[in-house]
Structure 1
Amino acid sequence: WIRYVTKASFRDITWDEPLANALYGFHNGCFAGTWDGSPKWKLTGTDKKFNALLKVREGIHPVSGKPIKWNKEPIPWALVEAQNPVDIGSGYYLLPPIRPPPSGRRQPTNLIELPDGDYRKHTNTVRRLIDRAKNVASFRSDYESYS
């Protein structure tokens, strides 16, 4: 017969509010109890799923091998689930890599490199005034050509 505890649960926070606040965001990846018999199984390191969990336990990212920077604030499960996570055990999930920015991004033109008379060098107010002056000049030339 085995007796062990895998998770501390609070169904009602009023039972012990300070303890509940202290446990907020805690991820328990171990168990408490005793086993007096011979080992029933061993972690050999051949299963990739468990290898990833061993690296996480050491504080190393299972894919990149870089140190993990832990964030104490929990992430809403809906955001995690939307990224199709891979369960690596003990409540840890491996998220897909963040995609790189699109290649060939259009860089804004450098206004200094534009020719002096280029329309794009002016502010919107100046552009409107230029358009208005062109319309007035066009109207005057049309008027003069008909008279």
Structure 2
Amino acid sequence: GEDGSHAHNRRIARWLPKVLELDSLGYWVFTIPEGLRANYRAKKALSELGHRIQELLKLYGYSRGLRRWHWFGETDGDVKPVFHPHLNLITDGGYLSPDNLEAIKRAYASLLGVKVVDVNYRYRQSAGEKWHTLNYVTRATFRDPDWDGEMAYKIKGFRNMVVWGRGEWGGDTAWSLEDLDGKAKEDVEQLDLGAVNSLIDNICPDCGKGLKWGTALPIALLDMVKKEDLGAGYYRLETRPPPKGLPADINDRLYWKEVIKVAKFRLAKELAVAEAKAKREDYQGWWMELLPYVDRLGFINDV
């Protein structure tokens, strides 16, 4: 999804609880040399390389983190971008000496079997910087399948939100969303993080029981019911007590049947209006084509 889309916000909600645990955030970007990129156009190769980079960082003390591939560089207008996979990683992190960064680069170069590689590292300490990094890493970079149709097909279903460090997460938060300001604060205030993460895990945020999703309904139906926006494309509908004598599940089915009935009526009305308009336009077009012949026969002057 585009920046700020429901899909993007779900990715943010998924990782934000963990990013809140990072007192100082380390942000890494591992690029693949251009001559090797053809070797990483399959899910298995990308997954294995991501895991090996993760394990490399663990050797240097980064016991927990998050990783996500970006597929292209920055887009420039209408120019089709070139496939340029680079792995983004978020870890604990602070100042890193040039010698230690060079050691990690050498280890990565050895892993790829090349002499020179690019590894970029920065660390973030303010709430705004951490939020911006999370927002940037979780954005979509493969926004048009026409950029690389073959690759779009190959990575369909690829798991691109990976967390490592089992047992290392779940501690106290190191910073607060209250520390944010401006647009970042506005964006996060639109998300009910607890509810969104529960729904992503197919758990009811109200009772904690597992959810069984029903058949998808037209999104226009949401305009016809009272609801609470939880963010990231999720809504909590108004709770209605069932009528006496009817089980709750039957009452729900009857309710939605009535909503669908009204929606179908509105749609039929709109289609009828559109069809009538089309017929009028067709008739007018036919009459305009006929006018020259009518005029030639003298009928218009007689009217």
Same fold (TM over 0.5): no
**Greater strand fraction, Structure 1 or Structure 2:** 2
- The structure with the greater share of residues assigned to helix is 2
TM-score, structure 2 as length reference: 0.21
Report which of the two structures shows the higher radius of gyration computed on alpha carbons: 1
